[in-house]
């Protein structure tokens, strides 16, 4: 008879009310001491562990906590410190934060997306580094849980192959050599954990869900053979997630004691039927979605578990979420304002762990033991499925009438750009920002007062107009060519639209970490999406009335809204994406009708939704391109469409970006230190482009010379007539003083380069 054990892969680090964020930002602003930072975060960390124990989780992860990012934690533990920071104390928390955020002397390390999620990790830099074990961080947290709470946790490590594959600073032919240099460090960490009493150690290798080459999978086999030989007393759980493991036949034969597979996002039954599952290994089965917030249909989950048992014949099956719960909010218990039908259908981290323990109980004791929970789950699912959210016939009709032909602009780019240039009369190397401007404490507190009903709608609108007017004047004084209204009325670039489009719902406390202390509150897509009235026109038109310079209309694109929302699992994603696109098209046309001549439709998450398996990319890209064009292609040729992307592997999706047919694209390059520019040396791009010339995720103010260097490097491969100058992302998280200083240097850089360019001509 199969024995079932409940487990978790990782828990949200931010706290139900973002206590973690508050502690970090208080420390960065020097309003609390280092000792207080450590004390506050330890209290939260222990509370998270105790909560999991109280819910009934048997295998509780430790070392899943982080002050910023778990990949950066791994790098610091192994002495992987960028050369520009190596003069600093490697054990100091300020060194850690300097690498993540930059300091006055050095730029921050590159930041990019963790596989196909909205979580950002700090990219390790392996050049000029000899790895060494600076600290066994996993051991420290294992001992803390054991000594403080009596919890013998399951230490979690980022696996060596994933860590090195996600790093930079080496050539492809050095991969084996670099990975080998980390093996002694991993074996030391593991042996010290075993000696301290760790019974199982989870090694995360999500890279196994990507298209590894034959040589790379051979390296994986070699690595784990060496690790197992050097750690004979360790029980190793090789954990994969996000998608079906490539080279399944080889992965299940690796010399580890357990294999973790994601049965929510991975298609494993054909592989198990053909190849089987090894009887000498424990199976850790991800059976509850760790990346979405919707309540599991426990009857289907229970059936899935029985199907897994029957297919694998495994003696021990660990039941767990499909991935770390880092990607979902903490608990739904604080939600008071949402429709009860929707609330009953939600499941955040705490509720997901309760689902895991319930299914584990049923698997061990029989279905009758959880009969009440099964019935309650079924009732909640039926209520949402039959709700009015799913009955919008007009949306279905509009989709049915949508032409299946290619959606495209009325004129090709070469013709319409001439018309736009005649209308706009912008200088060479025009300057702009990406959209949002600093959201100060006053902006946030005023919004909170408005939401609580402490000030009237009229008072709030007057405040927003005052902020807009102030920043239009600041932008004019700085001499920016294309202005933005600042988005002071918006909490978040996706949540804002979720509050205004039909088919969405928003939470009060559904926060999820995006990068560093930056948390977002993804809206919920519960049913058919549609547009009912203008969402952005009033604010943009007001801003435009204050200046003779063009003010961009600012929208979030359909792909990003989809990828940064929690879409109910019963809804077909590509169908929802086209519904969003149709809604946005109405907003774009409303802006155009109001004489807004530049409209930016941001798609920072276009690449994020990519399946890990590249064979699935064409279908995804076709749907994404079509949705963007639906939203933006029906404007007049004289209306200039911009888009923005951040932290994308631009070289991999160059043709797709071109196919969007936006007139101007802005894209992040500052944190990758201009590496993206290399793409243009081998690809011809005929549209206009702004490569972010400084990093807004760092509080440091770049010098004029530093920005000029970024600009001039780009102009070696990109025609100056195509080039726009802008920061690499929105400025809402930055302070007013640093924002103005950085923009002033950016404008000065642009002017100097223009003059130099004119002299050369």
Residues of each annotated binding site for Zn(2+): 644, 646, 668, 729
Are the C-beta atoms of residues 86 and 75 closer than 8 Å to each other? no
- Which of 664, 682, 660 has its CA nearest to residue 725? 664
Exposure string for 22-34, b = 16+ CB within 10 A, e = fewer: ebbeebbeeebee
Pairing of strands 553-556, 598-602: parallel
Residues with catalytic function: 697
Pairing of strands 566-567, 640-645: unpaired
Are the C-beta atoms of residues 490 and 436 closer than 8 Å to each other? yes
Residues in binding site for 5-methyltetrahydropteroyltri-L-glutamate? 18-21, 113, 518-519, 564, 608
Pairing of strands 518-520, 512-515: antiparallel
Q: Report residue 639 as tokens.
A: 């209306």
Q: Report residue 441 as tokens.
A: 């404490």
- Which of 577, 654, 662 has its CA nearest to residue 620? 577
- Residues near 64 by Cβ (< 8 Å), separated by ≥ 6? 9, 10, 11, 13, 70, 156, 324, 326
- Which of 723, 672, 6, 721 has its CA nearest to residue 316? 6
How far apart are the C-alpha atoms of 415 and 438, rounded to whole Å? Answer: 37
Are the C-beta atoms of residues 238 and 258 closer than 8 Å to each other? yes
Are the C-beta atoms of residues 552 and 541 closer than 8 Å to each other? no
Residues in binding site for L-homocysteine? 434-436, 487, 602
Burial of 128 (0-12, 13-18, 19+ CB in 10 A): exposed
Are the C-beta atoms of residues 584 and 557 closer than 8 Å to each other? yes
Please report how many Cα atoms fall inside a 13 Å half-sphere around the Cα of residue 243, on the Cβ side. Answer: 19
Q: Within 10 A of 456 (CB to CB), how many other CB atoms are there?
A: 10
How far apart are the C-alpha atoms of 73 and 141, rounded to whole Å? Answer: 12
Q: Report residue 700 as tokens.
A: 């440091």
Q: How far apart are the first and last CA of the chain?
A: 81
Burial of 406 (0-12, 13-18, 19+ CB in 10 A): exposed
Residues in binding site for L-methionine? 434-436, 487, 602
Are the C-beta atoms of residues 160 and 208 closer than 8 Å to each other? no
Burial of 558 (0-12, 13-18, 19+ CB in 10 A): buried
C-alpha torsion angle, residues 721, 696, 608, 345 (rounded to 10): -140
Report the run of H or E that residue 622 belongs to, with start and end.
helix 617-632
The partner residues of 346 in beta bridges, in order of sequence, read 294
Kindly tell me the sign of the dihedral angle through the C-alpha atoms of 38, 39, 44, 45: positive
The partner residues of 259 in beta bridges, in order of sequence, read 238, 283
Q: How far is CA 591 from CA 544, 595, 615, 735, in A?
A: 11, 7, 38, 29
How far apart are the C-alpha atoms of 755 and 749, rounded to whole Å? Answer: 10
3-class secondary-structure state, position 466: helix
Are the C-beta atoms of residues 727 and 433 closer than 8 Å to each other? yes
Are the C-beta atoms of residues 231 and 187 closer than 8 Å to each other? yes
How far apart are the C-alpha atoms of 224 and 212, rounded to whole Å? Answer: 16
Are the C-beta atoms of residues 264 and 248 closer than 8 Å to each other? no
Residues in binding site? 18-21, 113, 434-436, 487, 518-519, 564, 602, 608, 644, 646, 668, 729
């Amino acid at each position: 008879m199969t024995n079932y054990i409940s487990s978790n892969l990782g828990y949200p680090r931010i706290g139900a009310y973002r206590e973690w964020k508050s502690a970090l930002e208080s420390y960065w602003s020097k309003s609390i001491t280092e000792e207080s930072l450590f004390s506050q975060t330890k209290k939260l960390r222990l509370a998270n562990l105790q909560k999991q124990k109280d819910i009934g989780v048997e295998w509780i992860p430790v070392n899943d906590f982080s002050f910023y990012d778990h990949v950066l934690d791994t790098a610091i533990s192994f002495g992987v410190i960028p050369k520009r920071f190596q003069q600093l104390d490697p054990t100091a928390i300020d060194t850690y934060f300097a690498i993540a955020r930059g300091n006055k002397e050095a730029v921050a390390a590159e930041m990019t997306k963790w596989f196909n999620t909205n979580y950002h990790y700090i990219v390790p830099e392996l050049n000029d580094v000899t790895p060494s074990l600076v600290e066994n961080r996993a051991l420290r947290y294992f001992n803390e849980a054991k000594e403080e709470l009596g919890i013998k946790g399951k230490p979690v490590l980022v696996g060596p192959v994933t860590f090195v594959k996600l790093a930079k600073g080496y050539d492809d032919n050095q991969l084996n050599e670099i990975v080998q240099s980390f093996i002694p460090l991993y074996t030391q960490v593991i042996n010290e954990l075993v000696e301290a009493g760790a019974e199982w150690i989870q090694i995360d290798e999500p890279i196994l869900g990507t298209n590894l080459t034959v040589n790379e999978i051979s390296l994986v086999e070699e690595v784990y053979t060496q690790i197992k030989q050097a750690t004979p007393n360790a029980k190793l759980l090789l954990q994969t997630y996000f998608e079906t493991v490539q080279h399944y036949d080889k992965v299940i034969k690796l010399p580890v004691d357990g294999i973790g597979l994601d049965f929510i996002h991975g298609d494993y039954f054909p592989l198990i039927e053909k190849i089987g599952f090894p009887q000498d290994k424990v199976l850790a089965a991800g059976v509850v979605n760790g990346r979405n917030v919707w309540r599991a249909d426990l009857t289907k989950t229970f059936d899935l578990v029985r199907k897994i048992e029957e297919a694998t014949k495994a003696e021990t099956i660990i039941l767990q979420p499909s991935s770390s719960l880092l990607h979902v909010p903490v608990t739904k218990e604080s939600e008071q304002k949402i429709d009860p039908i929707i609330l009953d259908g939600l499941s955040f981290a705490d509720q997901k762990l309760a689902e895991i323990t319930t299914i584990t109980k049923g698997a061990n004791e029989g279905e009758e033991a959880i009969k009440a929970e099964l019935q309650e789950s079924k009732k909640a699912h039926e209520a949402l499925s039959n709700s009015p959210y799913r009955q919008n016939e007009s949306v279905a009709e509009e989709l049915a009438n949508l032409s299946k032909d290619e959606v495209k602009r009325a004129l090709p780019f070469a013709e319409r750009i001439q018309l736009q240039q005649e209308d706009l009369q912008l200088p060479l190397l025009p300057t702009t920002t990406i959209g949002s401007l600093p959201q100060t404490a006053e902006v946030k507190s005023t919004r909170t007062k408005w939401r609580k009903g402490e000030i009237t709608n009229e008072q709030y609108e007057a405040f927003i107009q005052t902020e807009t007017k102030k920043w239009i004047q600041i932008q004019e004084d700085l001499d920016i060519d294309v202005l933005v209204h600042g988005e002071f009325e918006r909490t978040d670039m996706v949540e804002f639209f979720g509050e205004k489009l039909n088919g969405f719902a928003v939470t009060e406390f559904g926060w999820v970490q995006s990068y560093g202390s930056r948390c977002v509150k993804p809206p919920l897509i519960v049913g058919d999406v549609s547009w009912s009235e203008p969402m952005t026109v009033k604010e943009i038109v007001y801003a435009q009335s204050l200046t003779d310079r063009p003010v961009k209309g600012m929208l979030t694109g359909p792909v990003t809204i989809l990828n940064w929302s929690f879409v109910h699992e019963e809804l077909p994603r590509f169908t929802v994406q086209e519904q969003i696109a149709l809604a946005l098209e109405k907003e774009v046309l409303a802006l155009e009708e109001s004489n807004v001549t530049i409209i930016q439709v941001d798609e920072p998450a276009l690449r994020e939704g990519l399946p890990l398996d590249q064979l699935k990319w064409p279908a995804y890209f076709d749907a994404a391109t079509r949705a963007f064009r639906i939203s933006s292609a029906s404007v007049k040729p004289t209306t200039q469409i911009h888009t923005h992307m951040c932290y994308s592997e631009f070289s991999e999706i160059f043709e797709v970006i071109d196919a969007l047919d936006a007139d101007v694209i802005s894209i992040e390059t500052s944190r990758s230190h201009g590496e993206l520019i290399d793409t243009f040396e081998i690809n011809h791009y005929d549209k206009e482009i702004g490569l972010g010339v400084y990093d807004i995720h760092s509080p440091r103010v770049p010098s004029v010379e530093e920005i000029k260097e970024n600009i001039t490097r780009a102009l070696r491969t990109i025609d100056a007539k195509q080039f726009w100058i802008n920061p690499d992302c929105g400025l809402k998280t930055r302070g007013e003083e640093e924002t103005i200083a950085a923009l002033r240097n950016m404008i000065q850089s642009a002017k100097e380069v223009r003059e130099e360019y004119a002299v050369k001509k």
